[in-house]
Amino acid sequence: MDKHFRVEVISRTPNPQQLIWLSAHQCVCEGPAIDDPCPPEDKAGEYVVKHLLAGNRGHYSPLEAPQISFNVIGLNHRTMQQITRHRIGVHFSVQSLRYTGDRFAALGEKFQDGYFNVLKPCTWDDETVQEVENLYYLRPVGKYTDRDTGAYEYTKADRDIDLSRCAQTAVWYFEGRQKNKSHEHCAGLLAMDVRQHWVMSANVRSLMHALDARTPSNAQLEAQWLCELIWPHFQEWAPSIASWYEKNRLGKARLAP
């Protein structure tokens, strides 16, 4: 996995399984649910699994009560596009390229006097390569499959050329800013896989739906990695539900309603 990819929890509803229990219990109790004794968090989780999830009962609405918010850091633009599909109940606030972009201009300024041939592998030192990779994501060297053309190999030479192409777009960005063009105007010339940060908030139901869609082996690789980074936070937050999900749905593309 790319070393820049990171997911941090910004906030989360405490005791989410108890909240789901209260939400479900309100449907069947005469008075306010909060007036009845609530089971401990682990027992509430067992109740949720047994009465709402097990046997494909499909009682998902109480799972919409608790919410968790992540800061997704350093992932590429295409992954953001992928995860925003199947977005039932998920909030996104994505880093704007309309108001930000000085980092691309700074990189472009560094390379403006050493214009390179984008058809030849770069000969930069590791530190300079890292400067480019701080702002642009490229897949690691290796073998990949494509739905249309089958298997192919992405070599170091291929990747070095792509690094040069990414750096050239930063030069174009810098040149545009020097002509007083806006950030949003210059951003049109950047490579698609620029790194972006975003805030993502989901309830338990919508989070499972996102995992349903992006954990199967045929999902985009980077989207799978994003789910891999989200997964331990889900396990820690709602352990009983996550345990049931891992056994019954993880990686199986069974889309939650």
Domains, the chain, with CATH or none: 6-95+195-248 (3.30.1360.170), 102-189 (no CATH)
Contacts for 139 with CB less than 8 Å, ≥ 6 apart: 154, 159, 221
pLDDT (tens place) for every residue of the chain, 257 residues total: 999 999 999 999 999 999 999 999 999 899 999 999 999 999 999 999 999 999 877 788 999 999 999 999 999 999 998 888 766 678 999 988 888 899 999 999 988 876 555 555 666 678 888 999 999 999 999 999 887 777 899 999 899 889 989 999 999 999 999 999 999 999 999 999 999 999 999 999 999 999 998 998 888 999 999 999 999 999 999 999 999 999 999 998 777 55
* Tokens 């000969």, residue located: 123
Q: Please, are residues 97 and 167 in contact by the beta-carbon 8 Å criterion?
A: no
pTM: 0.91
Q: What is the pLDDT of residue 121?
A: 61
CA distances to 51, 70, 98, 130, 137 from 3, in Å: 40, 18, 26, 11, 10
Q: What is the pLDDT of residue 190?
A: 95
Q: What is the pLDDT of residue 66?
A: 98
3-state secondary structure of 55: helix
Q: What is the pLDDT of residue 74?
A: 97
Tell me the CA end-to-end span of the chain in Å, nearest whole number: 30
Q: Please, are residues 167 and 105 in contact by the beta-carbon 8 Å criterion?
A: no
- Quote the Cα angle for 69-70-74, to 5°: 160
Q: Where are the beta strands (DSSP E) in the chain?
A: 6-12, 67-76, 91-94, 142-146, 150-154, 195-203
Residue 75's Cβ-side half-sphere holds a number of Cα atoms within 13 Å equal to 31
Q: What is the pLDDT of residue 126?
A: 83
